[in-house]
Structure 1
Amino acid sequence: MAIQQAKVFVEDLQRGMFVSRLDRPWTRTPFALQGFYIRDQEEIRQLQKYCRYVYVDVVKSVGEIGAKLRKITGAASQAATDKSASPKRRVPVAINCKPVQVKHNSYLRPEPVRKEAAKARQLHGRIVQGMHEVMVQIKSDRPLPIGDVNHVVTQMVDSVLRSPDAFSWLARVRDKDEHTYSHSVRASVWAVVFGRHIGLRRQELVQLGLATLLKDVGKLYLSDKVLKAEKRDPRAELEYRKFVDYSVKLLSTDPNIDQQVLSIVQCHKEQYDGSGYPRGLRGGQIPILARMCGIVTFYDEATNPRGAEFPVPPSKAVGQLYELRNSAFQEQLVVEFIQSIGLYPTGTQVELSTGEVAVVVEQSYQRRLKPKVMLVTDAEKNLLAKPRLFDMAADDDRKQALVEKGKKSLAEVGLITITQDLDQSRYPQIDVAAVRDQYMFEQRLPAFIARLLPKS
């Protein structure tokens, strides 16, 4: 059934309404996604602060207000076609799948990224080295060092539990010595960050991280022609899809391999609507951890397409992922994943409403649209001689306090927002890896500034 939307001014909002659209880009508000139920007066107050009106889905709205809206619009008998829906999105029918049990805030508040940075960098290097050893062993037909890899993944999980941002930095920034298996390393980090967000148990995080790291080992049995082809004919596509079975077969040679890890690897290319492979599973037939692995795999491939010099802005990848909700991927998990990494993950170049360009260096976990950033250009896009740290959430709180005390109006204080994330190719003179190193590791600013300045 297509959704029926009703335009509602914010003064008339009530609990139980399902807000499907805003009167402005949703990236310019505190709300993580378009599409949420109004649960309390605080959410109504936030909507009144940022919007004049919103669009409410009368079919999804619940309680007395939902029934009233449906009666008024006649949506219960005939829903109008949502003209804003993408024609490319596949809409499945009646997929049997129970909601995932999510437990937010299951772990302690994240520690500052700088406190975990050194440990995270050391572990990241060990994971990359571990994957290198796995590839060497496969090519030489020797036993895989899965026990060693499992050990370092367990340490990575503990690091992410302490500070998700530290490993996110290392996953987001592509260094020049990147290897062909770096996709699996990045996806593994995203998987553990995702799992932490929804409250998976530590053992499940280890299983998910290890499976995501090793899911592509079977690709070593594919020819370069099949593996690297931009477009595959049906025969080549069938050959490519064999990598899943190859991966499972390889990993099964270790008698101590966790069966849950094998299950994730075997099912991570299945899709929610049954259009995946190798078995065409759908909905609840696909293990939850495999559904999560599929989402992070898609996201990393979308942000880091093969052969591209620079990563793709996260907003584009998030948009592609969101279009595939309830077709390729379960909608609930898509929403949770996007919330777990934020619209502007650590390491993302962004443009502020002031015109300045900055790099996101640390998340504000309660306010995802107001992270800590490092300002690297002025409003005219000139590289700053002295990049400076700017805490958007703290700045927002200070200005909101002035407004609430009546000292200034909202227009006078000038709240600063992120207007867009940027393709790194637009400003190649900005060395994001240098920003990372200065924020996480270096104490002296001059060396950082020297690395940021354009090469003569």
Structure 2
Amino acid sequence: MIRKISVQDLRPGMEVVRMASDMWTHLPYLYTKPGVIRSEMEVHRIRQEGYLDVFIRQEVPDDGKTDDERLERIVLQRRDNPPRKRRAPFQREIRKARKAYDEALVQTKRMMSDVKMGRQVDVESTTHAVEGIINVAVQNPDALICLSKLSRYDSYTYAHCINVASIAVVFGEYLGLPLEDLVLLGLAGMMHDLGKTAVPERIINKQGRLLPREFEEVRKHPTYGQMILEKSGNIAPRVVQAVAQHHEKFNGSGYPHGMRKDDIGVFGRILSLADVYDALTSDRSYKDAILPNKALAIMYGMRDQDFCSIEVQMFIKCLGIFPSGSLVRLNTGDLGVVFESNPERPLLPKIKVILDEDLRPIPAKLVDLAAEQNPVFNIVECADPSQYKLNLKPYIQTRE
């Protein structure tokens, strides 16, 4: 199991691991050189060089369970959550999700342009866009999650804002937040990176490791966003607070104020989860996307550091161990696309089988793994669509 720890807790004998995403090598304070730490002198050197965090490989008890089974057991321990309501048909809601997503994307581009031009944020239009996202999230959250992972747009900045808003609203709905809170949460998600308009693009899009002075400039963007929204004067205080806090961390190592635990508002904590998940699972100028289940495993390893342990477990349970939109390999060798997650049985989502073991298209077959009396299929692993040059979007779209 991979776990994020402070370098103050680093000890000889621990193994530093190479992360699956180059996202981490972009950060100047994360030690990323893989290998076993050999001595106290090496630990001292790493600390002296200014590194703050490191990912290590941590042994787990050999209880005969796979990582997925162990993770399922953990995320199912919290059974006091409000049950998710019956979902509307996926194929109907994916069309509505596409419309809501595209409208929100147009509004985000307009909002960013307005900010760069010194104009006020159009709260009414942005709220309307958020309400479209919420409507889909309430009816079938997997339609939004699937769309956010299978959509590809020219600008990561704009799509990231919509993805964070969508993921945050889906998680908020899962937690049972009332409608008025979902609207504010969605607004905060769409606006969370407005402050990056004040950061030079050469820094935002830099492909290599940021210099400390460059990273310090990036760390100012939540404050810049707060200032932009406060200047606008027509934004709810809870939205402004969430934008200012979305990079704070559970253990106090975040920015800009080093807030800890419950001192960080609920919206800020939710945005932090959504922000990291989308960043890990999206292509960037300096790194490739990683598989959704791998991203959730990494985030689980960040519990009690970046995230509250219970909250990240609930986030994983909300999205599912195999989130909607994932490509999975089955025990038969066939490949399928996950349509809908199963919060109560995370290893048994609904899937659409699309390719045989020789990667030949087959008549698409929708299978609910949880409903199979004598299951023919079970998921062996997640697969990477890019390895097969496979576009999954046609498999989730339907004719109007």
TM-score range, shorter chain: 0.7 to 0.9
**CA displacement, residues 241-269 of structure 1 (integer Å, 9 cap, x when unaligned):** 11111111111222221100001111111
Of 331, 334, 353, 1:356 maps to: 334
Q: 1:237 to 1:179 in 2, by over 3 A?
A: closer
Is the counterpart of residue 23 in structure 1 residue 1 in structure 2? no
**CA displacement, residues 352-401 of structure 1 (integer Å, 9 cap, x when unaligned):** 1111111112234433222221222212x322243332332222xx21xx
Amino acid across the alignment from 2:379: I
**CA displacement, residues 157-215 of structure 1 (integer Å, 9 cap, x when unaligned):** 12211111221121111325555321111111111111111111211111111101111
The equivalent residue for 1:451 is none
TM-score, with normalisation over the residues of structure 1? 0.70
C-alpha displacement of 1:22 = 4.2
Name the SS of the counterpart of 1:142 in structure 2. Answer: coil
The equivalent residue for 1:265 is 243
Name the SS of the counterpart of 1:335 in structure 2. Answer: helix
Asked if structure 2 preserves the Cα contact closer than 8 Å seen for 1:367 and 1:393, the reply is yes
Distance in 1, Cα, partners of 2:87 & 2:62: 32
Is the counterpart of residue 113 in structure 1 residue 90 in structure 2? yes
Of 172, 184, 202, 1:195 maps to: 172
Alignment of 1:111-190 (within 5 A): 111-190=88-167
Distance in 2, Cα, partners of 1:286 & 1:369: 32
Distance in 2, Cα, partners of 1:33 & 1:246: 41
Of 329, 347, 367, 1:390 maps to: 367
C-alpha displacement of 1:442 = 2.5
Q: 1:279 to 1:179 in 2, by over 3 A?
A: closer
Alignment of 1:285-300 (within 5 A): 285-300=263-278
The gaps in structure 1 that reach 5 residues or longer are: 3-18, 40-101, 400-413, 444-456
C-alpha displacement of 1:435 = 0.9
Amino acid across the alignment from 2:382: D
Alignment of 1:195-344 (within 5 A): 195-229=172-206, 230-307=208-285, 311-344=289-322
C-alpha displacement of 1:350 = 0.5
Q: 1:37 to 1:213 in 2, by over 3 A?
A: closer
Q: Which has the higher contact order (CA 8 A, sep 6+)?
A: 2
Q: 1:160 to 1:261 in 2, by over 3 A?
A: same
**CA displacement, residues 112-161 of structure 1 (integer Å, 9 cap, x when unaligned):** 21232332221111100000101221222222212210122123212211
Distance in 1, Cα, partners of 2:78 & 2:215: 45
The gaps in structure 2 that reach 5 residues or longer are: 1-8, 10-59
Name the SS of the counterpart of 1:376 in structure 2. Answer: strand
**Which structure: larger Rg?**
1
Amino acid across the alignment from 2:64: D
Distance in 2, Cα, partners of 1:232 & 1:211: 27
The equivalent residue for 1:433 is 393
Q: 1:35 to 1:162 in 2, by over 3 A?
A: closer
Distance in 2, Cα, partners of 1:141 & 1:343: 43
Q: 1:32 to 1:297 in 2, by over 3 A?
A: same
TM-score, with normalisation over the residues of structure 2? 0.79
C-alpha displacement of 1:279 = 0.8
**CA displacement, residues 413-432 of structure 1 (integer Å, 9 cap, x when unaligned):** x653211111222211x220
Amino acid across the alignment from 2:365: R
Name the SS of the counterpart of 2:93 in structure 1. Answer: helix
Name the SS of the counterpart of 1:394 in structure 2. Answer: coil
Of 338, 352, 375, 2:353 maps to: 375
C-alpha displacement of 1:276 = 0.6
Asked if structure 2 preserves the Cα contact closer than 8 Å seen for 1:356 and 1:377, the reply is yes
The equivalent residue for 1:417 is 378
The equivalent residue for 1:63 is none
* Identity percentage of aligned residues: 28
RMSD after superposition = 2.5
C-alpha displacement of 1:335 = 0.2
C-alpha displacement of 1:235 = 1.2
Amino acid across the alignment from 1:377: L
The equivalent residue for 1:97 is none
The equivalent residue for 1:442 is 399
Name the SS of the counterpart of 2:285 in structure 1. Answer: coil
Amino acid across the alignment from 1:283: K
Q: 1:323 to 1:198 in 2, by over 3 A?
A: same
**CA displacement, residues 2-58 of structure 1 (integer Å, 9 cap, x when unaligned):** 9xxxxxxxxxxxxxxxx97741314258x625476599xxxxxxxxxxxxxxxxxxx
Amino acid across the alignment from 1:427: Y
Name the SS of the counterpart of 1:393 in structure 2. Answer: coil
Distance in 2, Cα, partners of 1:154 & 1:37: 32
